Structure 1
């Protein structure tokens, strides 16, 4: 396990360096000047040059790159060009909202997908199975940028049950969580059904049934645990995506998370914030996938023995 954690740490460091370097180069190649965005169209060339020198944007690109990584090694994510405050404080303010949205979306997805997938597998080939898979297909097919506004029209404007946007009110998380959780639930339900149907034909399932175990003992204890292995993989990938900030959903609902901060910073050409957001997203994604492998080993003893 120690060697595995060391490999995970090396992978996180290497991929973070690659992602950070690519983002640094690409964002500096994109047309647009942050100084012009900050000062407006009527600023004099002298004011622009003074601000560019103050922010260090007049330095050669290689020097800016070295300064960026030297700061990261020291735990310094840089200073926001637009907000004029440490990037770490901005990330600290926004990340809890993204984490809340990701966990609530995951909870909704699990509450929908597990009963739906198990029900479809137990009723395979019948009308219940066809209905469950049709519902999941619709869930996969509906894009977030359409479902979000429809939920706002129905439940915020029409019924006035939930706030339209923001995160200040107590139930503001419901609609964005449902928007994200619906697609994830559909994917998990289909994956769980397929995995369960494969497990149902295994010899140990027939042996458990021959011993007279209850339906829960056969399907809940034996089948479901082994069927979770491919589901855990999908779950880890999707959770990494959610933690990275579901950009479209956060923008639609004006949710103050990392996704919205990233979009705003790209528009303002706020280089340090964009680099930090994408770096945090990549590290979260890699870490969640590493933790997924640990859960995999806990579910399947063969994997523990192979390590």
Structure 2
């Protein structure tokens, strides 16, 4: 296990290095000048050059890259060109909102997907199966930027049950969480169904039924426990995306999370904040995938044995 964990950590560090380096150069190559955005069109050439020098943007790109990597190693992500605050502080302010939205969206997905997947697998080719898979198809097909405004029109403007946007009170997170969790629930329910159907054809399932166990016990205690590996893969990928910040959902509902901060910073050419947001998103992906790999080893020890051979 220590060797396996060290290997995964080394791979994670290489991924983080590659992603942050790529984003650093891409954001500097994108057309647009942050100094011009900050000073406006009426700024003089002397003021522009002075501000560029003060921000270190007149240095060679390679020197800026080395300074950025040095700052990352010392947990210093620089200061925002727009807010004039440390990037680390800005990320901490927005991270709580993203974690709250991601956790509730993940809960919505699990509550909806697991019963649907179990029901569809247990009643294969029945009306229940077709209905569950029909919901899955609709959920996958509807984009967040359409579902979000639709929920707002019905439940906020029409019925007045929930706030339209923002993060004020407990009810304000309901519609964003449902919007974000619906797509994940649709994909997850199909994965649960297909994994269960594959396991239900195994010999040990027939043995369990031959012993007289009821269908519910066979499905939940035997089949579901052995169908978790593909589901874990999907959960790891989707949870990484949620923690990284659901950009579209946060923009639609004016949710003050990391995704919204990333979009705002791109528009303002706020290089340090963009780099900090991408680094945080990459780190969340890497950590979630690392935890998923460790759960793989816990769920199936043969994976660990395969790594050591």
TM-score when scaled to structure 2?
0.97
Residues 105-116 of structure 1: pairs in structure 2 closer than 5 A = 105-116=105-116
**CA positional deviation for 1:55:** 0.6
The answer to whether the aligner puts 1:258 opposite 2:258 as a matched pair is yes
Q: Which residue of 1 aligns with 2:60?
A: 60
Residues 1-307 of structure 1: pairs in structure 2 closer than 5 A = 1-307=1-307
The superposition leaves residues 36-68 of structure 1 with CA deviations (integer Å, 9 ceiling, x where unpaired) of 111111111111111111111111111111111
Q: Is the 8 A contact 2:122 2:219 kept in 1?
A: no
How far apart in 1 are the matches of 2:191 and 2:42?
Answer: 57
- Structure 1 residues 242 and 5 mapped into 2: Cα distance closer, same or farther (>3 Å)? same
How far apart in 2 are the matches of 1:190 and 1:184?
Answer: 10
How far apart in 1 are the matches of 2:306 and 2:9?
Answer: 20
Structure 2: gaps (5+ residues): none
The superposition leaves residues 145-193 of structure 1 with CA deviations (integer Å, 9 ceiling, x where unpaired) of 1001101111111111111111122211111110110010010111111
How far apart in 2 are the matches of 1:203 and 1:121?
Answer: 17
**CA positional deviation for 1:202:** 0.7
**CA positional deviation for 1:96:** 1.3
| Runs of 4 or more consecutive aligned structure 1 residues displaced over 4 Å after TM superposition | none
SS at match of 2:227: helix
**CA positional deviation for 1:306:** 3.3
**CA positional deviation for 1:227:** 1.2
Q: Is the 8 A contact 2:167 2:173 kept in 1?
A: yes
Structure 1: gaps (5+ residues): none
Q: How much is the aligned-residue C-alpha RMSD, in angstroms?
A: 1.1
> Bigger shift: 39-48 or 293-302?
293-302
**CA positional deviation for 1:16:** 1.1
SS at match of 2:115: helix
TM-score when scaled to structure 1?
0.98
